[in-house]
Amino acid sequence: MASADKHPSLSDPRSVADAGERIYKERYQEEFERTHLGQFVAIDVLSEKPYVAETPDEALEKARNISPHGIFHLIKIGSTGAFQVSHSLNVRRDWVFR
Amino acid sequence: MSAVIGFFDKIGNPSVKISVRGVFTDGKKEFEAIIDTGFTGFLQMPLVKAFPLGLVLAGTTSVTLADGSSSPRLMAIGIVTIGTIEESALIILDVGSDAILIGMSLLRKFKKKLVVSSTDVLLEDEPPPPAPQQAATQPVADIPAAPEPPQAN
């Protein structure tokens, strides 16, 4: 595991997103794309547990109820991004609160 | 049926006034939001406008941009009011745009239908889903028995 992934923090969204994507790819992607295609999964990057639901808000609600101290990365199963945006600039800002 | 009357912003985007708040009921603030049918999420707003509202940070997600690339974003949970209806919604926090965007998931959550003409922008209530169709045939017990044919002598 990369050192940046050990304690991802929401002050560095890219590290949380990277950890979430890595955990998903290594542990869940193959199975979930067979069984839950099109649904949403919130990955707790601290416990590496997945919470799957039909909608993004349901997945996050389930995750936050079961793991109130988790740090979650939301993925749409089978898609590159959980949401499509047409209006946003691709600003590669890797930090928010530093 | 109640409709929320929207407007076109200065560059012609269909827009509507919404209010957003976080955990504090007195922290509600009104914004002009663009209705973006190319946005599949609920609401996107600039991080700097979200800060004072006390939204609850929920995690991160990746969004697919118009050029096909993906980009990580922070997500928060807030309470959004459109017209007289209030709903909680996932809010994507953006650092690259000043615009507040309403996406298709929010319209679905509020059960609103977007109507745009050359002069008007309306968010109308969706009609209720049609009632399930009644069975084409009556139960056997309700069907009156056919009269007996006359007996030939």
CB contact under 8 A, A96 and B42: no
Q: Is residue B57 part of a domain?
A: yes
Among partner residues B61, B68, B89, which is closest to A82 by beta-carbon distance?
B61
Task: Give the separation between CA A75 and CA A21, rounded to whole angstroms.
Answer: 8
Q: Is residue B151 part of a domain?
A: no
CB atoms under 10 Å from CB of B73, counted, come to 27
Along chain A (98 residues), what's the average pLDDT of each consecutive run of 10 residues? Answer: 57 90 97 97 96 96 95 96 76 51
pLDDT tens per residue across span B102-128: 999 999 999 999 999 999 999 999 888
List chain A domain ranges.
Answer: 3-76
Domain extent at residue B21: 3-128
The total number of structural domains in chain B stands at 1
Among partner residues B69, B74, B88, which is closest to A96 by beta-carbon distance?
B74
For position B142, what pLDDT does the model report? 58
Q: State the pTM of this model.
A: 0.81
ipTM here: 0.83
Report which secondary-structure segment, H or E, holds A34.
helix A29-35
B18 touches A: beta carbon within 8 Å:
no
Q: Is residue B139 part of a domain?
A: no
Q: Is residue B147 part of a domain?
A: no
Number of residues that this document lists for chain A: 98
For position B149, what pLDDT does the model report? 63
Question: DSSP of B36-75, one letter per residue?
Answer: -TT--SSEEEEHHHHGGGTPEEEEEEEEE-TTS-EEEEEE
Torsion of CA A31, A34, A39, A45, to 10 degrees: 10
For position B29, what pLDDT does the model report? 94
For residues B62 and B144, which has the higher predicted lDDT (pLDDT)? B62
- The pLDDT confidence band at residue B139, using thresholds 50, 70 and 90, is low
- Tell me which amino acid residue A91 is: V
Instruction: Calculate the average pLDDT of chain B.
Output: 87
Q: Is residue B40 part of a domain?
A: yes
Residue numbers of B between 28 and 87 with CB closer than 8 Å to A:
34, 36, 38-42, 44, 47, 57-75, 77
* Residues in A lying within 8 Å of B, measured between beta carbons: 10, 13-14, 16-18, 20-21, 42, 55-57, 60, 64, 71-75, 79-93, 96
Q: Is residue B150 part of a domain?
A: no
Residue numbers of B between 112 and 141 with CB closer than 8 Å to A:
none
For position B51, what pLDDT does the model report? 87
- Check residue B72 and give left, alpha or beta (phi > 0: left; psi -120 to 50: alpha): beta
CB contact under 8 A, B74 and A57: no
Average pLDDT for B18-41: 92
